[in-house]
Chain A
Amino acid sequence: MEILSKLGIDWKLLIAQLINFAILLVVLYKFVYRPLLAMLEKRETMIAKSVDDARAIEERLRQTEKMSEEILIKTRQEAAQILETAGQTAEQRQNATIEKTKDDVRQIVEQTRTMLKNEKETLIHEARGHIAQLVVSATERVLGDMPHEKVGDALVKKTLEKIAG
């Protein structure tokens, strides 16, 4: 034991050092390590989360860009298609209109022709009636009072046939 005291070991001091270190450990643990380590951990999880979030946002952005590009391409294609269809439809409609107009014109011409023909016939018919009367009256004048009306009629008929013929 003498060597211990020669080295300066004193139980009182040894115990004092033990207690001092224990107090330091407890105080530092309670008021320094715990809050600071908690803060470290909190920050670590926060940073990890931020990195994950950033990655997710980037991914979403990329998807959105891709989607918008797809939509754009699709829209362009649709527009081209619509234009083409519209062109075709317009042409068809134009052709149809032209065709219809032609038909109409043809029909009108036909109708007019028929009408004219009918008119002509009516005119001829009427003219015939008038001529017959004229012939009768002319013949009456020429012949005077004829006793036999039958002769007159026969004459009229003959004349008419000649005229018609």
Chain B
Amino acid sequence: MNISIAAESIAHIGTFPVTNSMLVGWVMSVVLIAVGWLAARGASLKPRGIHNAFEAILDLLLKMIDGVTKDRAQSRKFFPLIATIFLFVLAVNWAGLLPGMGGAIGVLEEHDGKPVIISFIRATSADLNFTLALAIISVITVQVVGVMSIGVVKYMGKFLNFTSPINFFVGILEIVSEAAKLVSFSFRLFGNIFAGEVLLTVMSFLVPYIIPLPFLALEVFVGFIQALVFAMLTLVFLKMSMEEAHH
């Protein structure tokens, strides 16, 4: 059994370490693009097969985004980011549950003098590099959308406000909360998925049959919920950034 907070590298391209989580990320990107392309290629006014299924998911997402924005034009602007976050996080979360995770199938490596198996499969979201990258994208997009919709001066006024000591302090808190979003976004997703993997690895190590199944089902659910939470929080922050500060 090998449990590591950091994603393990399974190969190197030059000096670039190819980690198992990175690999899963690439594979799932290709899978998503392939499925999406197949769906878009078969698109017709009478939906059928893979197009129908994919379109149903997108429609559901669009309706959910509509529920937050209450504005179809705005929903369509936010849609690509929110949908991609949801679909990709969901895909990598679930990919991490495939058989072969947790040191079942992988590369044999020496670790502190002991041979360990480094899995090919590790949920991309069980790697802080990914969750932090996604959090950075989310938070930066929020700032950009805020500036673009209410203007630089008004948006900055949320953070730097000299009208009164209380407002100034509120501004400081806003800055801190933006930074905290980075941490909370990245650690929430990482923590949930990594904990799930550890739980499943340990359970499978202790009792290989039947007993881990309920936990596996639970992790499928957690994977879905975390993808939804990340996407929805980003959406809510986007929507909030478009509103002017209330005094």
| Partner among B5, B19, B84 whose Cβ is within 8 Å of the Cβ of A7 | B5
Closest residue on chain B to residue A25 by CB atoms: B84
Min C-beta distance of B54 to chain A, whole Å? 7
Residue contact B84 to A24, C-beta cutoff 8 Å:
yes
Residue contact A20 to B29, C-beta cutoff 8 Å:
yes
Residue contact A21 to B84, C-beta cutoff 8 Å:
yes
Residue contact A17 to B22, C-beta cutoff 8 Å:
yes
Q: Tally inter-chain residue pairs, CB-CB below 8 A.
A: 111
A54 within 8 Å of B by Cβ? Answer: no
If A12-B17, A17-B129, A24-B33 touch, whether A40 touches B137 (CB-CB below 8 Å) is no
Query: Using a Cβ–Cβ cut-off of 8 Å, how many residues does chain A contribute to the interface with B?
Result: 32
Residue contact B36 to A31, C-beta cutoff 8 Å:
yes
Stretch at the interface among B39-47, B149-157, B163-171: B39-47
Residue contact A24 to B32, C-beta cutoff 8 Å:
yes
| Partner among B29, B36, B62, B124 whose Cβ is within 8 Å of the Cβ of A32 | B36
Min C-beta distance of A12 to chain B, whole Å? 6
B58 within 8 Å of A by Cβ? Answer: yes
Contacts of B26 in A (CB 8 A): 20
- Interface size of B as a range: 35 or more
B127 within 8 Å of A by Cβ? Answer: yes
Residue contact A8 to B5, C-beta cutoff 8 Å:
yes
Residue contact B79 to A33, C-beta cutoff 8 Å:
yes
Residue contact B16 to A18, C-beta cutoff 8 Å:
no
B132 within 8 Å of A by Cβ? Answer: yes
Kindly identify, within residues 41 to 84 of chain B, every residue whose CB is under 8 Å from any CB belonging to chain A: 43-45, 51, 54-55, 58-59, 62, 76, 79-81, 83-84
What CA separation (Å) do A40 and B72 show in the bound complex? 13
Min C-beta distance of B41 to chain A, whole Å? 9
Contacts of A37 in B (CB 8 A): 58, 62, 76, 79
What CA separation (Å) do A6 and B5 show in the bound complex? 8
**Mostly helix, strand, loop or mixed at chain B's interface?**
helix
Kindly identify, within residues 87 to 126 of chain B, every residue whose CB is under 8 Å from any CB belonging to chain A: 87-88, 124
What CA separation (Å) do A134 and B36 show in the bound complex? 147
Residue contact B132 to A9, C-beta cutoff 8 Å:
yes
Residue contact B127 to A8, C-beta cutoff 8 Å:
yes
Q: Interface code A16-37, partner B: CB below 8 Å = 1, 0 otherwise?
A: 1110111111011101110111
Contacts of A13 in B (CB 8 A): 7, 17, 19, 22, 127, 129
Contacts of B59 in A (CB 8 A): 40
What CA separation (Å) do A29 and B85 show in the bound complex? 12
Min C-beta distance of B11 to chain A, whole Å? 13
Contacts of A10 in B (CB 8 A): 17, 129
Contacts of A15 in B (CB 8 A): 133
7 A-B residue pairs with CB within 8 Å: A13-B7, A17-B127, A25-B80, A28-B32, A29-B84, A39-B44, A40-B62
Residues of A in contact with B (beta carbons under 8 Å apart): 6-10, 12-18, 20-25, 27-29, 31-33, 35-37, 39-40, 42-43, 46
